[in-house]
Structures are given as structure tokens and as C-alpha cells.
Amino acid sequence: MIMRRVVIGVLVAVAWFIGLCYMPSPMLFLVLLLMCCACQHEFYNMMRRSGHSVSRNYGMLMGVVWLISCYAYPPYAARELPVGHQFETLVLSSLIFVLFLRVLFDSRIKKPVEQTAVTLLGFFYIPFMLSFFIRLAQWGASGMFEMPCARGGVYLASYVAAVVKFGDIGGFTFGMLIGKHKFFPRVSPKKSWEGFLGGVFFSMLTSVLMVWAVRRFAWLPQCPLSELSLVHAVVLGVVLAVVGALGDLVESMFKRASGCKDSSGLLQESGGILDMFDSLIFTPAVLYFYLAWFIGQAVCA
């Protein structure tokens, strides 16, 4: 059981890393879009199974429109595009306003406050947060619908995915083998402090290795990671591991509140798509702003 889950986790992490590094830009965006749709669909289904009212189809449409908008307007090209960040604000406010109108004029909706709140929760929790994967992949883009050919930004996206997922694998392995002290029993009774610390160690190690590699080997895509010191690499590894673990706990909280063991049974004992990507939901935004604020790579320069 342990080995099977570890092998599945390693294969998924490696496949995701290779895909990020070598997929054509439109295909890479399509994969991310489909992943977001699958996660959001599972989240809304969990909410429905627990009796909550939700506009599932419109919520997912909001996610699709938002991700396409982010892909269309890279933040680094804001100065040269017609409306730049104003376009994102317009899209976001319009999507929310249309949701309010939909709830207002649909007489079949008996719980308008709940339906609006849960629909918005699913949007901001999944596609809005995961859109930072696109932001990372577009690092250095200068035009619409662009992920630079040098793929430095794509390496950033692969970095955060690798650091978090190998941390997940390390945490699961340490927890199963030596886990004794409960980490957060109110939400996830199986997680242990030993597993958490094992995950932090694996994330830190992965971060250091990937930063060292991009600084050492010229054939790897050059990106802001090449400017990181090993101290930064260690700090980022720890921060991403902690945020990833919190992301896992957030989804566990939603599952427990909904009375669900897994977000779906799509991946059998591994649960659903959301179960596999829950630790990745908040971490892309953390790396994005960490690099923008501490490495001097101004996002809106």
C-alpha cells in the first residue's frame, strides 16, 4: 500500500515536471485548464453532496473565463497591452456581477446567499489561486497568449510543483513508517508531526537541488531561480512545504465538513483530482510573490 502510493506519487510528479518543461504552450495551458475544471467540479460536487446550494456550471464558466483572461494578458506585458491589469479587474468584477444577477433573476434559487457564497468560494479557492501557475509560466512574456520560448517561467512552475509534490511523498512515507504524534487531528487525524517534518525535509532538499541545478547547468532554462542563494532555496523549500501542508489541511477541512472521505473516487485509493492537487493550490502564488518581492523581479515594472 505504502509503496504503491509512493510510486504513483513519484510517477505523477515526474510526468507533471516533464510536461511543464516540454509541452507546447497552448497544450500546457489546456492541461492546466482541464486540471482546474476537474478540481472545481469535484469541489462543487462535494458541496452539493453535503446539501449546499451552488451554481456549479456558472462557477466553472467563471473559472474558464478567468484562466483564459490570465493567459491572454501576461502581467509583464501590461505596459504594452491596451488595458493591462485593468482588463483582469474588468473580467473579475464582471464575472461576479453576472453571478449576482443570475441568482437575483432565478426564482428557483431558494438560498441565494448560500448559493452565491459557495459558488464564489469554489472560484476563488481553485481557478483563481491556480491561475498563478500561468503567471509563473509567463515570467518574462512580452505579448498576448505567450509563454516565452526560453521556458524560464515554465521551469518556475515545474519547480513549485516538484518541491511540493516530493514533499507530499516524503511526508506520506515518514508518516506511515514512523508517525506517532498527531499533527492536526481535528481535521486530518492520520497526519503526524513526523510526516510533516519529513515532508519539509524532502521539499527543502528538492528546492536546493533544483536551484543548484539551474545555477550549475546552462542547458536548463534560465529564470529567477538562478539568482537565488542556497539560503533562499532552503527558505523557499520550507515555506512551500508549510503552505502545501496547509493547503492539504484546507481541503481536508472541506471534505470533513461535507462528510466525504475523498473529493471523488476517480483515482481509486488515491481519491480524486482535487485530493492530488490540493497541496498545490496556494503554493504558486507564494513563489510568485516571493520572487517579485525578495528577488527584485518586479511583476509590474
pLDDT greater at residue 137 or residue 22: 137
Burial (CB count <10 Å: 0-12, 13-18, 19+), residue 7: exposed
The tens digit of pLDDT for each residue in 220-256 reads 888 889 888 889 999 999 999 999 999 999 999 998 8
Residue 60: the pLDDT is 97
Question: For residue 218, what pLDDT band results from cuts at 50, 70 and 90?
Answer: confident
- Quote the CA–CA distance of 33 and 27 in Å, as a whole number: 10
Residue 185: the pLDDT is 86
User: At residue 147, does pLDDT exceed 90?
Assistant: no
Closest CA to 136 of 114, 115, 164: 164
Torsion angle of the four alpha carbons 141, 146, 149, 150, in this order, in degrees rounded to the nearest 10 = 30
| Of the ranges 14-18, 83-87, 284-288, the best mean pLDDT one | 284-288
Least-confidence region, from 208-217, 238-247, 268-277: 268-277
Residue 299: the pLDDT is 38
- Annotate 148-167 with b (16+ C-beta within 10 A) or e (fewer): beebbbbbbbbbbbbbbbbb
User: At residue 268, does pLDDT exceed 70?
Assistant: no
Q: Point out which residues pair with 182 in neighbouring strands.
A: 192
Q: What is the phi/psi pair of residue 192, to 5°?
A: -125, 160
Closest CA to 262 of 60, 57, 52, 45: 45
User: At residue 59, does pLDDT exceed 60?
Assistant: yes
User: At residue 297, does pLDDT exceed 50?
Assistant: no
Residue 143: the pLDDT is 74
Question: For residue 144, what pLDDT band results from cuts at 50, 70 and 90?
Answer: confident
Residue 82: the pLDDT is 45
Residue 21: the pLDDT is 65
Start-to-end C-alpha separation, the chain: 50
Question: For residue 298, what pLDDT band results from cuts at 50, 70 and 90?
Answer: very low
The tens digit of pLDDT for each residue in 187-196 reads 888 889 899 9
The residue type found at 58 is Y
- Quote the CA–CA distance of 112 and 185 in Å, as a whole number: 34
- Quote the CA–CA distance of 181 and 195 in Å, as a whole number: 9
Residue 159: the pLDDT is 93
